[in-house]
Amino acid sequence: MNPSRRNLNLLPGYSKLMEMARQPFDLSSPDALTTERLAAQVCRAAGFEILYATERVDQAVLDALQSLADESGAVEQFLMMKGGAIMNRIEGFACENRQVLHTATRDIFAAAPRQPAATEQARQELAKLDQFLTELESGVLTNQAGEPFTDLINIGIGGSDLGPRAVYHALAAYSLPNRRVHFISNVDPDDAAQFLSGIDPARTLVNVVSKSGTTLETLTNEELARAAFARAGLDSARHFLAVTGKGSPLENPDRYLRTFYMYDYIGGRYSTTSMVGAVLLGFALGNTRFIEFLRGANCMDQAAENRNLRENPALLLAMLGIWNRNFLGLDTLAILPYSQPLCRFTAHLQQCDMESNGKSVTRLGETLAYKTGPIVWGEPGTNGQHAFYQLLHQGTITVPVEFIGFRESQQGQDIQINRTSSQEKLIANLLAQALALATGQENPNPNRAFAGNRPSLIILADRLDPFSMGGLLALYEAKIVLQGFVWNINSFDQEGVQLGKVLANRLLNHFSGLKQDKNYNGKAKDPLGYALLSEAGMLKLS
């Protein structure tokens, strides 16, 4: 099996789709949305339905997108990835040169996992975690006063924050009684100050998450937190946990109650189902529900192996995204969950998608001749309807939308007003928006007319619970890597974040140099403002 790895614009299907894109399906034409179309354009797998009748595709375009997917060998590469191939690389240039095995962290249900060694490592960490959680629940492990731990502060940033935070909010309704998780991520000292003033450290665990053990923000916030524990007269070594790579500076039993491992074959933005998410989610939800979350992700991982895009939600989303991006020329993607518990899910997807696919060179280091990852943005509906939907409907930019909805609410605390429940109002609004964007509406008042013909799709499941949340997370992870394979880019590195780090360190060295100068006055007018930028502007980049 040797998939093509050719550039998108060199695949046979590319020019055909370019031709088709000159007259894409018109959603606003009368009778565009027939019952037959609505029934036909649904993809079902892993507990999800993707309703895509409101995308600007017909069966011929879908067939051509299927051919393009086949020509790219995207699914074959996905299987290679799961099997342990070195997918994180740029041929011929210095690079990370790593396997990509986040799927192995949930491939724990099969007798024969696709990459047995990595899954065995995952199982070992899960067993350690289960043991730890059991000790917490049984009262074997308590604080110095013999009381149970009720709160956990997660200190991490980027992949060690966004995905776990999004899932925690999504599933907070399923938390164990008297368990809460808080998050400190930003190097902004006001971020840590906010939480450290509001909790009782005596009953709090602190989970420090950094693969390298050298992340500036995380180490700084860890020191802020340790200082707060010391002020409270507590031994932080009995409260602090570490999630890190083997051999990192954080691997130090004198300073941490427990240490859990993550491995370099798991990228930060794909690490929610590794120990990075597991420790805090296990603390909040308990082991059983966390395993259900992994089961949902694994179920979607399996569905993502299907070569037929009409049966594979991740491949379908990937190829519809490429249609909108490369053939219809749309630069952004709004992801709009009609579920308040998913309030941070789009922020996670911003990282997962934009850090993976915001790239300009191929896997051979060539400059790309086509566009890659879009700008991903969004807020939950119905809130967004009262915010930015004006531009979606009547602005001068067309924004493709992925709506996410659930048939039932999580907590079941609902109310009937005018004979419909809030949940029905929520889902009716979701459906109405997809329809309104597609069909538009004529009006003799030009300010009240809607051009329509704006594409969207709906991701639908019965209920937001641990299983479906796992599936939703894996759906987007798989979509993103499949798109990367079609674009022939490396979706697994992030060299674009390096220059800012280098310059920030140079400025900080400059600061600390100033402070060693006996004439330096930290309260001098404008030590951090324009004068510094001016200074910085003269620093030469090597």
Which among 386, 518, 523, 540 is annotated as catalytic? Answer: 386
Pick from 86, 216, 232, 257: which binds its own copies (CB under 8 A)? 216
19 part of the active site: no
Which among 120, 135, 246, 501 is annotated as catalytic? Answer: 501
Least Å distance, CB 151 to its own copies, is 14
Number of Cβ within 10 Å of residue 249's Cβ equals 14
- Give 271 or 287: the residue with its C-beta nearer to its own copies: 271
102 part of the active site: no
x-marked contacts with its own copies along 310-349 as a string, rule CB under 8 A: ---------------------xx-----xxxx-----x--
Q: Does 161 bind its own copies (CB under 8 A)?
A: yes
Are 85 and 76 in contact by the 8 Å Cβ rule? The answer is: no
* Strand, helix or coil for residue 405: strand
Q: Does 177 bind its own copies (CB under 8 A)?
A: no
Least Å distance, CB 153 to its own copies, is 14
CA distances from 57 to 222, 306, 370, 394 (A): 50, 21, 21, 22
- Give 298 or 324: the residue with its C-beta nearer to its own copies: 324
Alpha helices in 30-147 (DSSP H): 35-40, 59-72, 74-83, 116-138
Beta bridge partners of 457: 402
| Residues from 274 through 303 that contact its own copies (CB under 8 A) | none
Which among 217, 355, 402, 477 is annotated as catalytic? Answer: 355
Round to whole Å and give the CA distance between 217 and 191: 11
Q: Does 232 bind its own copies (CB under 8 A)?
A: no
Q: Does 127 bind its own copies (CB under 8 A)?
A: no
Least Å distance, CB 508 to its own copies, is 5
State residue 58 phi and psi, 5-degree precision.
-115, -175
Sheet strands (E) in 77-228: 151-155, 180-184, 204-209
| Residues from 423 through 442 that contact its own copies (CB under 8 A) | 423-429, 431-436, 439-441
Are 341 and 172 in contact by the 8 Å Cβ rule? The answer is: yes
| Residues from 23 through 82 that contact its own copies (CB under 8 A) | 33-35, 37-39, 42, 49, 51, 53
479 part of the active site: no
Of 322, 304, 412, 234, nearest to 14 by C-alpha is 322
Q: Does 185 bind its own copies (CB under 8 A)?
A: yes
Round to whole Å and give the CA distance between 335 and 345: 9
Q: Does 530 bind its own copies (CB under 8 A)?
A: yes
Number of Cβ within 10 Å of residue 307's Cβ equals 16
Q: Does 376 bind its own copies (CB under 8 A)?
A: yes
Which residues carry out catalysis?
355, 386, 501
